[in-house]
Amino acid sequence: MTDMLHRRAFTVSVVWTLFLLYLGSVVHATESSLACPDWPTCYSTMLPEMSGGIFWEHLHRLVAGGLLMMFGLATWLARKETKDRPWIFKACLGGMALLLIQSVFGGLTVLYQLPDLVSTTHLALALLFLILATLLASSTSWSTSVGPASRELADRGTGYATMAVVLVFAQSVLGGLVRHMDAGMACPDAPFCLGQVVPPLINAPIMIHFGHRVVGILALITVIGLAVWAARNALPAAVRTWTVLAGGLAVTQVALGFLSVLTVLAVVPVSLHTLVAALLIAALVHVAVLSRSSGTKTTEPTGT
C-alpha cells in the first residue's frame, strides 16, 4: 500500500508544480508580483483580504506551501524504497532542498522588488524541481512497464529526449528573463522581429527576446525530430505516443509565444505559454524514462 501511495504522491506533486508555475505566470501577467510587499506574510498577516492582486500573489504563496507539504509527504512515503533503490530517497531529499531554496528566492524577489536575475532564478529552480519530481513520478510509475527495445535504440531515445529537455529548459529560463526584464514586446511583431529575420541587436531586451525565439525554434525542431525518429524505429508504443504528444505541445508552445506578442501580452496566452512549456518539459522527461526503461527489458545481451 505504501508503494502505491508514494507513486500517487509523486504524481500529485508534478501536477501541483505545474499549477504553481501557471499561477506564477498569472501573478506576473496581472502585475500582482508586489501586491504583498512583505514576506512570508502579506501585510503582516497570513490571512489577508483575498482581492485584486493580493488574491493572485497570496494564492501563489499558499499553493507553494501546499507543494512543500505534499512533496514532504511523498518523501516520507518513499523512505522504505531506499532498500533496493536508494537513489529515490536521496532524490527526494534533494527535491526538498530545491523547494526550500526556491522559496527563499521567492521571498528575495519580493523583498528586493523583483530584481531580474533573482526572479529568473526563482523560475529556474521551479523548473528544476519539476524535472526532478517528474523523474521520480515516472521512475516509480506502472506506466514504465513498456515493451522492450534494443539497448542502442533505448540509449538514443533517452539521449535525444534529454537533449530536448535541456533546450526547452534553456528556452524557458530565457523566457523568464524576457518576462522580468519587461522585454516581452521588444520584438512587437511575429514571426519576424522588428520586421526582420535577424533584428538589429542594439540592446539587451531585443537580444534576450530574440535569443528566446531562436532557442524556441531549435527546441521545436529537436522535439519534432524526436517524434519522427521514434515513429520510424522499433520503440514501444508508449514511447512513440509520448513523443507525438511532446511534438504537439512544442507546436502549441511556439504558437502561444507568438500569440502573446500579437495580443500585446494578454494574460491568458502569456500564462498558457508558461504552462505548456512546463508540460513539455514534463512530457520529455517521461519520454526519457520510458525509453531508458525499455532498454532494461530487452532480451539482447547487454554485458551487465
| More confidently predicted of 145 and 169 | 169
> Is there a contact between 179 and 28 (Cβ–Cβ < 8 Å)?
yes
160 and 68 together in one domain: no
34 and 158 together in one domain: no
The helix-helix angle for 267-296 and 116-139 (nearest 10°) equals 40
Query: pLDDT for 127-166, tens place per residue?
Result: 999 999 999 999 987 655 566 678 888 889 999 999 999 9
164 and 64 together in one domain: no
> What one-character DSSP code corresponds to residue 44?
T
Per-residue CA distances from 159 to 58, 275, 289, 291, 299 (Å)? 40, 24, 10, 9, 21
Domain residues for 179? 145-304
pLDDT of residue 10: 93
pTM exceeding the 0.85 threshold for the entire prediction: yes
Domain's final residue, options 85, 110, 140:
140
65 and 110 together in one domain: yes
Instruction: Report which residue type is found at 256.
Output: L
Three-state SS for 42?
A: strand
pLDDT band at 302 (very low <50, low <70, confident <90, very high): very low
How many residues in total does the chain contain?
304
Domain's final residue, options 76, 111, 140:
140
Beta-bridge mates of residue 196? 193
124 and 152 together in one domain: no
The label of the residue with cell 504528444 reads 245
Query: Among 135, 134, 114, which Cα is nearest to 179's?
Result: 114
d(CA 234, CA 195): 44
131 and 279 together in one domain: no
90: which residues sit within 8 A by CB, 6+ positions away? 82
Instruction: Give yes or no for residue 91 having a pLDDT over 50.
Output: yes
H or E segment at 24?
Answer: helix 2-29
Average pLDDT, the chain: 91
Q: Out of 151-160, 194-203, 240-249, which region has the weakest mean confidence (pLDDT)?
A: 151-160
156 and 250 together in one domain: yes
164 and 289 together in one domain: yes
83 and 205 together in one domain: no
pLDDT band at 297 (very low <50, low <70, confident <90, very high): low
Three-state SS for 196?
A: strand
Q: What is the mean pLDDT of residues 212-236?
A: 94
Q: What is the DSSP string of 111-134?
A: HTT--HHHHHHHHHHHHHHHHHHH
pLDDT of residue 148: 67
> Is there a contact between 148 and 68 (Cβ–Cβ < 8 Å)?
no
Query: Among 145, 54, 129, which Cα is nearest to 96's?
Result: 129
- Detail the DSSP E strand segments found in 116-210: none
pLDDT of residue 299: 40
122 and 162 together in one domain: no
pLDDT band at 179 (very low <50, low <70, confident <90, very high): very high
> Domain with 178 in it: what CATH number?
1.20.120
Beta-bridge mates of residue 45? 42
268 and 126 together in one domain: no
Per-residue CA distances from 281 to 185, 272, 302 (Å)? 25, 14, 30
Q: What is the mean pLDDT of residues 175-196?
A: 94
Domain's final residue, options 124, 140, 156:
140
**How many structural domains does the chain have?**
2
123 and 161 together in one domain: no
Query: pLDDT for 27-75, tens place per residue?
Result: 999 999 999 999 999 999 999 999 999 999 999 999 999 999 999 999 9
